[in-house]
Amino acid sequence: MHRNLTVVRLFVKKIYLILLVLMCTCLGCEWRLRSDLRPESDLFIERYDRTEAFFLTTGDFSALQQMQTHYPMQTRRLIEDVLQLGKVDDEHINIRFLSFFQDSTLQALISEVGRQYDDMSDIDQSLRESFERFSQLFPNAETPIVYTQIGSLDQSIVVGDSLLGISLDKYLGADFPLYVKYGYSERQRSMMTREYIVPDCLVFYLLSLYPAPSDSLHEVHMGRIQYSVNSMLKQQFFKSPYVEQARQQMDENKGLSFPELLEGE
């Protein structure tokens, strides 16, 4: 009897040790999995384009529902302002939206966007760091919600209502065949590249906050905007006599803030 109790105790102890090892292994795997995956809340850029592309290539209305539920303002802006298909609450707007993108050219755009921008971690990090500097230089300005979308070769950057939308179809590379086919100049195509996304975002957002005071001062004001963007990027991305003029103005007026620079005439 005593021997049987000893055997049982040893068996229970082995089971306990096995369960303990399994539990630690599972916890370790879960910890590694969580550490490898970047939480959605940490993403600076919202990948609206992925949900949009899924709906436009499959016709799955659950994806459309997600667009309308999670991205209502982005969907309204895309349909009404960018594509100009009608009002988002029109009875047949969803069918019109889906049908519009069945064109082979637009399907090719969707495919190429998915291929080139499967990974946007580099752009995400650069935008995050740039807007952190933006908050330091413009402490009273609001940081926008940044998202990606697929248009129809219309606007590259869409700004309004604290939203900043990146149309990835306008950044597929200088040699992208559709750009050549549709008559974009060599100079235009040189700026329709991945490396222009972050600078363009910053330029257009600053222009939305600080529009040019008059047409006659447009080039001077743009030089100040681009100088400010260079400061946020921590590199001389934009170069022109007007950018140099803005730099000299800041050097000669040490107490001048960036908002004051962009508000001046």
The number of angstroms, rounded, from the C-alpha of 9 to the middle of its chain's C-alpha atoms is 60
Q: Are residues 261 and 135 in the same domain?
A: no
Tell me, yes or no, whether 107 and 216 share the same domain: no
Residues 245 and 162 placed together within one structural domain of the fold? no
Final residue belonging to a domain, choices 193, 227, 243: 193
57 burial class (0-12, 13-18, 19+ CB within 10 angstroms)? middle
Stretches in the chain below the pLDDT threshold 70: 1-43, 216
Number of domains, the chain: 2
In this structure, the answer to whether residues 182 and 226 fall within a common structural domain is: no
DSSP string, 193-251: SGGGHHHHHHHHHHHHHS--S-GGGHHHHHHHHHHHHHHHHTS-----HHHHHHHHHHH
- 61 plus 172 within the same structural domain: yes
Report d(CA 76, CA 103) in Å as an integer.
21
Same domain, 163 and 265: no
C-alpha to C-alpha distance for 85 and 79, rounded to whole angstroms: 6
Q: In this structure, is residue 71 part of a structural domain?
A: yes
Could you tell me if 136 and 248 lie in one domain? no
| pLDDT (0 to 100) of residue 66 | 94
Q: Does residue 61 share a domain with residue 122?
A: yes
- Whether the model clears a pTM of 0.85, i.e. scores above it, the answer is no
Rounded-to-integer distance, Cα 157 and Cα 203, Å: 10
Task: Give me the pLDDT at residue 161, please.
Answer: 87
The verdict on residue 188 lying in a domain is: yes
Does 168 lie in the same domain as 229?
no
Residue 175 is predicted with a pLDDT of 95
Residues 146 and 220 occupy one common structural domain: no
Within-domain flag for 2: no
One domain for residues 137 and 188: yes
151 is a domain residue: yes
Domain ranges, residue 221? 210-265
CA nearest neighbour of 145 among 43, 68, 67: 43
pLDDT for res 220: 94
What integer pLDDT is reported at residue 214 of this predicted model?
77
Residue 219 sits in the same domain as residue 173: no
199 within a domain of the structure (yes/no): no
Evaluate whether 182 touches 153 at the Cβ level (below 8 Å). Answer: yes
The pLDDT tens digits of the residues spanning 196-243 come to 999 999 999 999 999 988 776 899 999 999 999 999 999 999 999 999
